């Protein structure tokens, strides 16, 4: 079986959860003797980091206002996909994980028309153009049934983009209900929000994703000490709630240090957080860690702190 795995970007040094899951999925499928090609926008990782047989790299054609103007942008990206697939063997299955930089129109190019499609939804992109169902101006929870005009503020989009946003959201739901054979969601809350938006729950085949641990994370032979520090691990962006954690930690009287390990995401936010962290001698901001380094970091921590403002998957 030849599988086309699609995400918005590849698993590079700044990979988030979606890219790590896609990387794990590529490894697992290959281990079962399947052929995997990974399609995404942007540059693929270095050759020594590759886990899929091939990487199909698309140009980054979507602008910052997407999904405003989504039809033209997705049509352009579909043309690039058609060119990439033209001289390749037929695809037996498309597995979509994230489409914020590829769109969905590429699924109708001649090489993929009629090919079965499954989807693993790693956040709320299908119903929320800002991905996380959080109101950016307030940090409060949003819902899949929010009016499309409410999306404009989070997207910093003009009012004339309302029609595009509404049509894009409707298209996504129609695609899940009409084209996808099966949909994996990662939490019951996520499945509930998708149902509110009209996604057919008969397509949902499980509500929790199982992440295999990397081989580099060897189990501890014996139970270690209680842990020497508190740990924050994640993307450095507002919805991950690092500002809330730093406020709480600075008010706490614990002698345990706080270690912060992040990947870049929001430069302005990270600058503010680094300034807050520097004001407390108990806080140590680590250099960017590779995935192999995460196991030992977790093993020596007293607790992993997750102050996210959105419903994490």
| Among the listed residues 263, 251, 273, 260, the one whose alpha carbon sits nearest the alpha carbon of residue 304 | 260
Partner residues linked to 164 by β-bridges = none
- Residue spans per domain, the chain: 2-206, 229-304
pLDDT value at position 217?
64
129 to 35, 148, 154, 291: CA distances (angstroms): 32, 9, 9, 28
Answer yes or no: is pLDDT of 47 > 80: no
Q: Confidence band (pLDDT; 50, 70, 90) for 216? A: low
219-271 pLDDT, tens digit per residue, is 655 555 678 999 999 889 888 999 999 999 999 999 999 999 998 888 999 99
pLDDT in the model for residue 49: 62
Nearest Cα to Cα of residue 124 among 138, 139, 142: 142
Confidence of residue 51 (pLDDT cuts 50, 70, 90): low
User: Are 2-206 and 229-304 the same fold in CATH?
Assistant: yes
Of 141, 137, 139, which is closest to residue 152 (Cα–Cα)?
137
Task: Provide the CATH number for the domain formed by 2-206 in this structure.
Answer: 3.40.50.2000
Model confidence over 77-100: pLDDT tens digits?
999 999 999 989 999 999 999 999
Q: What is the band of 295 on the pLDDT scale with cuts at 50, 70, 90?
A: confident
The pLDDT confidence band at residue 48, using thresholds 50, 70 and 90, is low
Q: What is the pLDDT of residue 15?
A: 74
Per the model's pLDDT, the better-predicted residue between 257 and 122 turns out to be: 257
Per-residue pLDDT tens over the stretch 136-152: 888 788 999 999 999 99
- Asked if pLDDT for residue 211 goes beyond 60, the answer is no
Region 45-74 average pLDDT: 86
* CATH of the domain spanning 229-304: 3.40.50.2000
Beta strands at 229-235 and 204-206: parallel, antiparallel or unpaired? unpaired
Segment 11-30, tens digit of pLDDT: 876 777 888 889 888 888 99
Q: What band does 111 get if pLDDT is binned at 50, 70 and 90? A: very high
Name the band, by pLDDT with cuts 50, 70 and 90, for residue 311: confident
Closest-CA residue to 168 (of 152, 184, 192, 191): 152
| Mean per-residue pLDDT over the chain, rounded | 90
């Amino acid at each position: 079986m030849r599988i086309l795995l699609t995400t918005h970007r590849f698993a590079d040094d700044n990979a988030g959860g979606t890219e790590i899951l896609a990387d794990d999925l590529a490894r697992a499928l290959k281990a079962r003797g399947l052929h995997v090609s990974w399609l995404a926008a942007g540059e693929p990782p270095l050759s020594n980091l590759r886990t899929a047989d091939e990487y199909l790299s698309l140009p980054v054609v979507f602008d910052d206002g997407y999904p405003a103007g989504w039809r033209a942008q997705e049509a352009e990206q579909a043309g690039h996909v058609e060119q990439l697939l033209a001289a390749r063997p037929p695809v037996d299955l498309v597995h979509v994980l994230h489409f914020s930089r590829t769109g969905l129109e590429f699924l109708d190019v001649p090489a993929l028309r009629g090919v079965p499609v499954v989807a693993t939804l790693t956040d709320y992109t299908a119903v929320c153009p800002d991905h996380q169902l959080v109101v950016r101006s307030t940090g409060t929870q949003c819902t899949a049934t929010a009016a499309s005009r409410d999306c404009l503020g989070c997207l910093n989009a003009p009012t004339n983009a309302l029609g595009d946003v509404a049509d894009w959201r409707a298209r996504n739901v129609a695609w899940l209900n009409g084209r996808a054979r099966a949909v994996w969601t990662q939490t019951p809350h996520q499945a509930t929000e998708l149902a509110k938006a009209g996604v057919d729950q008969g397509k949902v085949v499980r509500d929790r994703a199982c992440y295999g641990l990397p081989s580099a994370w060897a189990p501890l032979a014996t139970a270690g000490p209680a842990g020497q520090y508190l740990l924050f691990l994640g993307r450095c962006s507002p919805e991950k709630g690092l500002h809330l954690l730093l406020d709480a930690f600075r008010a706490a009287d614990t002698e345990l240090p706080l270690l912060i390990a992040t990947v870049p995401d929001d430069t302005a936010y990270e600058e503010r957080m680094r300034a807050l962290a520097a004001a407390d001698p108990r806080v140590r901001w680590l250099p960017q860690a590779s995935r192999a380094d995460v196991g030992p970091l977790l093993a020596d921590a007293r607790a992993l702190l997750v102050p996210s403002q959105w419903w994490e998957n």
